[in-house]
Amino acid sequence: MGSFTTTDGTDIHYKDWGSGQPVIFSHGWPLNADAWDNQLRVVAENGFRAIAHDRRGHGRSGQPWQGNDMDTYADDLAQLIEHLGLEDVILVGHSTGGGEVARYIGRHGTGRVAKAVLLGAVPPQMLKTDANPDGLPIDVFDGIRAGVAADRSQFYQELSEAFFGANRPGSTVSQGTRDAFWLMSMQAGSKAAYDCIKQFSETDFTEDLKRIDVPTLIAHGDDDQIVPIGASAHKSAQLVKDATLKVYPGAPHGLTGDYEQAFTNDLIAFLKG
């Protein structure tokens, strides 16, 4: 693990595997870079430089009181790219990480970006509003806040069920995978985890998506119970100029087993294409 310190004094930890064209992975809430380990290994084995960081407040990165907002997440990503001196970067984001990728491009452009991948990503906006009638009502996110505030350990254990589709007939997700989700979630500071709920649910990424002018793979499971596909991937694919939409029938938010293998294969093909 490497690390660097942001301009506001926050330590950001990252893993950096392999060599070649850089691919940076941004993780979902409330996880950390380890959530991408399977893809990091395969990407590095295929001749790319695979990099993943722990978002501030998550994993092994610092836990400041301030800066738990989407603009700062995007600026931290920009500082990571600058710290490593990267060019021709491929950005990959899952869930909240997809929002981070979109906001990075919205704020910093694509001068250093070659391609983007949004997997189960929260853009354009999760919250139901007058302008976004297909979103989820605020009560859903208030419930998440209440769960994190009251007993986050139990909440994360229960959240893993819908996250991986363990409540669906025929699910093959292991208890070990659900335990790993709980462990990573508990490594996120409670302040950062709580603040981030507002960020992934209420942020409107519409204008950020319109600024993406590089080839973009938008991948999503059509049985995603966390980020429903109708209000996310289908709309994002219409807003991004050069988007390819890949839908995985029956796939949940967190991909495991055959679903994960299918995405990894599509990812490698997209990186090499």
pLDDT in tens, 160-188: 999 999 999 999 999 999 999 999 999 99
Q: Is 54 a catalytic residue?
A: no
User: What's the rounded Cα separation, in Å, for the pair 12 and 75?
Assistant: 12
User: What's the rounded Cα separation, in Å, for the pair 253 and 221?
Assistant: 6
To the nearest whole number, what is the mean pLDDT of the chain? 98
Give the pLDDT mean for 149-153: 98
The pLDDT of residue 212? 98
Where residue 1 falls among pLDDT bands split at 50, 70, 90?
A: confident
Determine the residue type at 249: P
Give the pLDDT mean for 216-241: 98
Q: Which CATH number fits domain 2-272: 3.40.50.1820, 3.40.367.20, 3.40.190.10, 3.60.110.10?
A: 3.40.50.1820
The one catalytic residue in 13, 58, 224, 236 is 224
Nearest one of 233, 244, 248 to 125, comparing CA atoms: 233
User: What's the rounded Cα separation, in Å, for the pair 155 and 157?
Assistant: 5
Cβ pair 172, 257 in contact under 8 A: yes
Q: Is 95 a catalytic residue?
A: yes
Q: Is 134 a catalytic residue?
A: no
User: What's the rounded Cα separation, in Å, for the pair 259 and 273?
Assistant: 21
The one catalytic residue in 95, 160, 185, 232 is 95
pTM assigned to the model? 0.98
Give the pLDDT mean for 21-32: 98
CA atoms within 13 A on the CB side of 136: 22
The pLDDT of residue 28? 98
What residues have CB less than 8 Å from 61, skipping those under 6 apart? 10, 11, 12, 13, 32, 53, 54, 55
Nearest one of 148, 151, 120 to 225, comparing CA atoms: 120
Give the pLDDT mean for 130-142: 97
pLDDT at 54 over 90: yes
* Strand order from edge to edge, sheet including 2-5: 2-5, 11-17, 48-53, 21-26, 89-94, 113-119, 216-221, 243-248
Q: Which residue has the tokens 């709580």?
A: 194
pLDDT in tens, 66-107: 999 999 999 999 999 999 999 999 999 999 999 999 999 999
Enumerate the H helices of 109-232 as residue ranges.
138-163, 175-186, 190-202, 206-210
